[in-house]
Structure formats: C-alpha cells, structure tokens
Amino acid sequence: MLEVKSVNASYGDFQALWDVSLVVNAGEIVVLIGPNGAGKTTLMRTIVGLHRPSAGNVVLDGHSTARLDGCELVERGVALVPEGRKLFGGMSVLENLEMGAYTARARQARAQTLAWVWQVFPVLAERRRQIASTLSGGMQQMLAIGRALMSLPRLLLLDEPSLGLAPLIVQNIFDVVNLVNRKGVAVLLVEQNARAALEIAQRAYVMERGRIAGQGTGAELLSDPNVRRAYLGYISTGKNLAEGT
Amino acid sequence: MTLIIQNLVFGLFVGSIYGIAAVGLALVFGVMKMLNIAHGELLMIGGYVSFWLFHLAGVDPFLSLLISAPLLFGLGVVLHQVLYRHIARFETEQKIKNSMLVSFGLVLILQNLAQQMWTADERSIQTAYSGVGADVLGVALPYTRMANLGLALLVVIGLHLFLSRTYLGKAIRATADEWESAILVGVNIRQTFLITFGLSASLAAIAGALVVVGYGLSPSIGLAWTLKALVVVVLAGTGSVFGVVPAGLLLGLGEAVSGIIAGPAYREVFGLLIFVAILVVRPQGLFGRA
Ligand SMILES: Nc1ncnc2c1ncn2[C@@H]1O[C@H](COP(=O)(O)OP(=O)(O)O)[C@@H](O)[C@H]1O
Ligand SMILES: [Mg+2]
C-alpha cells in the first residue's frame, strides 16, 4: 500500500535522508526504530507531504504522491499522529476530533466514528468540552490518536506516541494500535520503546544516520545481537541493563 | 459632571471603532502570523467606497457596507494573491518581518493612489440623521455613534458564530493553532489564508464606513488607524480575537479619561503609554493565554 522509493530529503544544506526505501503492506504493523536524530520524523513528514523529497518517490496504492498537496493525502487514507502531538491547543476535545473528520469522506461517517473513538478512549468522552492544551500528556496523546482515527485512515502513521508517558498509558496506547490494526488499518510506528514495538510488529526497519541500516521481522530484530545491544539495553552477557536498574 | 460623562461616552463610541479596526488585524496576525501594516489603508479605501456611494448615489453609509465589505473582500483576495501569498512560505519570524516590509510598501502605494484619485481633501458624510440623537440627563447620545457600538457587538457576535459553528471557521482556528496539523486533517491552508485575508479586509471596510460617518476621512489616515489597531491587539493579547472589542472599548475610555485629566493633547500619548506598559507588565495581554 505504501512504498517509499530511494528517498533523499534535506534541510537546506543538511541531508537528513539518504536513499531510504521502505514498504508497508495492507494490514501490516511495521515498526521503525533508531536513535535520536536518525531521520525517523523527517521520513514520516516526507511520507505525508509536509516535507518534500529532493530525490526518490513516495508511492501510495501504486500512484506517486509527488503532485498531491499535503492536505490531499488524508483523503486517500493516510493519517499521521505527529511527534509532540500538535493538537489544536485552543480547541476543545470534541472540536479536535471534529477537525479530524474534516474531509468529505470522513465527515459523512463522523457520528459513527466519534462514537467509536469515545469507546476506545472513554476518558476523552468524559472531557469532551475541555480545552486540549489543558489535558495531561497521556490524554493529549490519546486525543492526537483519536483525531487521526476520525479521518478513517487505511494507513496510520504514529511518531513516538509513547514519548514521556507513564507505563500504564503506554500499554493502553499499544493496545489501541493493535485494536486499530485488527480493524484492517495498516500501521507504521516510530518508537523509542523498541521492545514493546518489536513485539507487536510484523516487520521492522532500523534507521541510523539517515539510512536504513537493517530490516527484518519483529522476531528477527528482537533476537539480533546488534539490535539488542543498541536498542534493547542488553550487553553481550545477556544481562538486561534496563531491567537491572 | 455631565461633561465628564459625555467624554466617557464618546470614548466608548470611538473605542468601538478601534475594536472593529483591530479585529481584522488580529485575525490576520493570529492565523497567518503576519503583521499587515496596510490594514489602515484598507480601512481608508473602505471609507472612500462608502463616501462615494453616499455622495454620488445617495446610498446610506450603513447600507453601503453591503457593497463595500464584499468589495474589500475582493481587494483583500487580490492583494493576498499578488503579495502576501508569497510571504506565507517563510518561517514564522521571517514572516512577521517580511510582512511588515511588504505591507509598509503597500501603505505608500495605496496612500499615493488614493491621493491621485480622490485628492487630499478631508471628507465626511453628513446624513439627515447626523447629529440627531437621544438625550439622557443632559448626555448626548447621537444615533450614528450608538450604531457604531451596536455594529461592533454585531461584528464580534457574527465572527464568533462563524469561527465556532462552521467548518470553515473551525478550519481557520485550527490553522491559527497548529497549521501543520490543519494540513494533516485535510485543511487547504492556502485557501484558509485567502479567506482570512479577505475577511480582514471586509472588517476594515466596516470600520472605514464608521470613520467617515463619525470622524474624518483622507488618504493619509491609514497609519494612524493601524497604530490604534495595533495598540488594541497588544492590549487584548495577540491571539485573542474576541478580547479585541473589549480592549478597543477600553482604549477609547482610557483616552477619554486621560483627555479629561491631562488635557486633549495627551489623548494620543495614552495609547502609546498603554502599548509600552502592557508589553512590559503583561506581554500576553489582558485576554491572551500566557
Ligand atoms: N527543521 C529542521 N531543520 C534543520 N535540521 C533538522 C530539522 N529537523 C530535523 N533536522 C535534523 O535532521 C536530522 C533528523 O532529524 P529527525 O528526523 O527529527 O530525527 P529523529 O526523528 O529520528 O529523531 C537530525 O540531525 C536533525 O538535527
Ligand atoms: Mg523524531
């Protein structure tokens, strides 16, 4: 459904993506891991048209998106939950969700989708009149995901949704990602929380310094010694540093 | 005593024009992150449209809004497409600087054009009901001035309903809050910018009609009105479109008070003092979010 073909992307003189290729098939959960500054966010933004590639192509359902305006991608079923949530801070919870259903396609089904989002995130329903910027971090993240779901995506992109959140809420968010995927939505997930992400992933990519440095099934990467050392907190003796503290 | 109350009441009336003049400026600033120095020139042109409609065709200045507001919307759209559209691509800080430069250039052009076409004569409209009004305990309440206040309230209520109830209005607020997310949910923000700019010009036209009815109109009045509007926007808090009308009323009242206390010569100084004081003491403004 999504093919990223040999994409380069730059900020002025600085090239952030080098010949990046990646595929997400219909119905899959694909995870992208990598250290800070690897270019994960840049790749996500390039996929949704907020950033233009300097070379290469983003292909959706067999058609290049190069000529599409940023606002047209959501019509074609691509939704991004951006890094840092980027909610409409002055608007209420309900208004944020209504804005999620801005496209003609989503607007028709708004009432049903909204009922479903309330069901997925009951705490949001309780606070539907609250102004988004006054919500806690966890609820803001739920709202950001809810807003993306309101557009009825076929491909959901999430950029570090668990960043800075309590473990219980992180678990909740991973559960929701699974739930949405079982409804037939393909997922591309960028995560720092590599273990939890690789566990739910069918396939995964590792990104380092603007390049794809490795790929495989979730299980393959979970057992890959390099990945374990770099992203899962293991040292070669097998002792888990993260769990040891 | 009556004289003091009379002064305050007139301060409130002129404040309602400040409010309307500032709403348009605040809208463009909040949504597009641009400072349109030429807003006062749009007000001036709107005033001339009302003036000529009255002078040549006898159209009542309040009715002429039905023509001048759409006309200025069109002018706003043209100016946006020719000039302001190109600034929209810059980063926020660059946007403010560049929009000030470009719009200052536009000020000079529009001022000179107006002078060529309509001469530098000061104009105003004397309707049959000019000067007529109610009298409450010796305080004169001219109907035209009361209409200013009524119109200011109508404008904010209308704008509030538009921004809070319609999809287009919500798209405008969403763009102001977080323009990239607006794109992500499918808002065509270039279109939002265009409509916002047109709307701002229409609001300037409304203010312009009130100016030509109650005060004086000439090609050079624009900058003074932009300055007043800017003081009001800072007073209200940048980003607070609805705080703008109460802030306008407050500035009008404040000017009246300072006029009474320190003499009429100091009226104008008051606004600038407020401007500096607010920036120092409460930079988020009276109604803005910190
Ligand atoms: N707006 C920007 N301007 C200049 N450089 C940027 C900008 N955004 C990101 N970068 C640089 O691009 C690289 C990739 O950043 P990013 O895509 O945010 O990485 P990640 O999401 O993997 O942490 C980093 O070196 C970062 O400093
Ligand atoms: Mg990132």
B133: β partners = B142
pLDDT given at position A196: 87
Residues of chain A contacting residue B180, judged by C-beta atoms under 8 Å apart: 50, 82, 86
**With an 8 Å Cβ cutoff, is B241 touching chain A?**
no
Amino acid at A98: E
C-alpha closest to that of A2 among A32, A35, A36, A33: A32
Whole-number Å distance between alpha carbons of A114 and A106: 10
Contact call for residues B41 and B211 (beta carbons, < 8 A): no
How close, in Å, is residue B31 to chain A by CA atoms?
13
Name residue, tokens 């009361």: B146
Substitution site in A4, A7, A11 for ligand 1 pocket (most atoms within 8 Å of beta carbon): A11
The C-alpha of A240 sits at a distance from chain B's nearest C-alpha, in angstroms, of 39
pLDDT tens for each residue of chain B, 290 residues long: 788 898 899 999 999 999 999 999 999 999 999 999 999 999 999 999 999 999 999 999 999 999 999 999 999 999 999 999 999 888 888 899 999 999 999 999 999 999 999 999 999 888 888 878 888 888 888 888 888 889 888 988 999 999 999 999 999 999 999 999 999 999 999 999 999 999 999 999 999 999 998 888 999 999 999 999 999 999 988 767 778 989 999 999 999 988 888 887 787 788 888 888 888 888 888 877 65
Interchain contact B182–A (C-beta under 8 A): yes
Q: Quote the tokens at residue A224.
A: 């890959």
Q: What is the per-residue burial (b if ≥16 Cβ within 10 Å, else e) of A230-242?
A: bbbbbeeeeeeee
Residues of A in contact with B185 (CB under 8 A): 74, 99-100, 102-103, 147, 150-151
Burial of A179 (0-12, 13-18, 19+ CB in 10 A): exposed
| Residue-level pLDDT at A234 | 62
Contact criterion met (CB < 8 Å) for B184 and A74 = yes
B183 interfaces chain A, CB cutoff of 8 Å:
yes
C-alpha distances (whole Å) from B82 to each of B24, B28, B37, B102, B268 are: 19, 16, 16, 11, 34
Cβ distance A50 to B180 under 8 Å? yes
The secondary element (H helix, E strand) that includes residue B139 is strand B139-142
Distance CA(A131)–CA(A129), nearest Å, equals 7
* A83 alpha carbon – ligand 1 mean position (Å): 12
pLDDT in tens, B99-148: 999 999 999 999 999 999 999 999 988 888 887 888 888 888 888 888 88
Sketch the domain layout of chain B as residue ranges.
Answer: 2-281
Instruction: Establish if B34 touches chain A: CB-CB under 8 angstroms.
Output: no
φ, ψ of residue A169 in degrees (nearest 5): -70, -35
For domain B2-281, the CATH class is mainly alpha
In the predicted model, what is the mean pLDDT of residues A199-217? 94
Predicted TM-score (pTM) of the model is 0.90
Q: Do A99 and B182 touch (CB under 8 A)?
A: yes
Rg (CA), chain A: 18
